Amino acid sequence: MWKPDPKKWLKRKKPESASRAVAPSPKQPRSQRPIVLIHGLNMPRAHLIPIGWRLSRSMGRPVHYFPYTSRLRDIPDTAIRLSQWLEERRISEFDAVTHSMGGVILRWAMTHCDMPTLHRAVLVAPPNEGTWLANHLNQKLGVLFPLLFGQAAMQLRAGDLGIAGRAGDLGSAEAGVIAGGSGQPTGIRNWFKIPGDCDGTVAVEETIFPGMKDFVLLPGNHTNLVMARRTAELTRVFLETGLFRPGRKASSH
């Protein structure tokens, strides 16, 4: 199992060009397994329509957008609702694409809830270890932080203050992570002075989690990364092959 060393990886890798071509997927029967999309904190599900549309068009598979309001429910409650939502739609197996906190919700659901079979998942900019930024905003805003962003935001704090680091894994599913960053010691639009490379919200090192099969770093900020064409292309390839770059060995840095 791949156990990445982010610091070593960052010394060797640069963000991939947004225009770099993706190898065509190998010829194989089209799967009709649905793709479930889960958005992030304080974002509408419409935020995932661009990637959902591209995946549906290129893969010919049904796409479902899981609806929830992050300010009204915490992560465990939302995970339970995800389990119930899938059961109501009689989805027995699926692939998933998540953005930001959506990845933590999926991990919590797969570990703590009665869930259908998950085959592959792509987590875009996931705060898998919690975030330095959540800790920082909580310190600065005090009681206003949960009032503005909800209890779920409190659970995204790093370390023992939050729950992201112990949300669990994705079981036997193949998981890939797409992180945003610059490949440099300071990240993209790092207004909050987040330590290390980052997408302006989540540090690259915070996206790592045990058991992920592949990883790629792209130039892009946290909000726009999931809407980028390059992200959709890489996601399509991973859902079809289990790797972001077929024919190349998965990153094992």
Q: Which residues pair with 118 in a beta bridge?
A: 94
pLDDT of residue 210: 84
Domain ranges of the chain: 33-241
pLDDT of residue 69: 93
Given the DSSP bridges, would you call strands 35-38 and 117-124 parallel, antiparallel or unpaired? unpaired
d(CA 226, CA 235): 10
Given the DSSP bridges, would you call strands 93-99 and 174-180 parallel, antiparallel or unpaired? unpaired
Amino acid sitting at position 180: G
d(CA 136, CA 157): 9
237 touches 22 (CB < 8 A): yes
Which of 75, 80, 81 lies closest to 103, judged by CA? 75
In order along its 253 residues, the chain shows pLDDT tens digits of: 334 454 444 444 556 644 444 444 454 456 789 999 999 999 999 999 999 999 999 999 999 999 999 989 999 999 999 999 999 999 999 999 999 999 999 999 999 999 999 999 999 999 999 999 999 999 999 999 999 999 999 999 999 999 999 999 999 999 999 999 999 888 877 778 899 999 999 999 999 998 899 999 999 999 999 999 999 999 999 999 999 998 766 654 3
CATH level 3 topology of 33-241: Rossmann fold (3.40.50)
pLDDT of residue 31: 72
Give, as one character, the DSSP assignment of residue 170. Answer: -
174 touches 95 (CB < 8 A): no
pLDDT of residue 79: 98
Backbone phi and psi for residue 116, each to the nearest 5 degrees, phi listed first: -70, 175
Residue 90's SS3 state is coil
Amino acid sitting at position 24: P
Which of 104, 121, 101, 105 lies closest to 201, judged by CA? 101
pLDDT of residue 66: 98
Which of 87, 123, 85 lies closest to 106, judged by CA? 123
d(CA 150, CA 18): 34
d(CA 231, CA 97): 11
pLDDT of residue 207: 97
pLDDT of residue 4: 46
d(CA 13, CA 4): 13
d(CA 67, CA 148): 20
d(CA 126, CA 118): 18
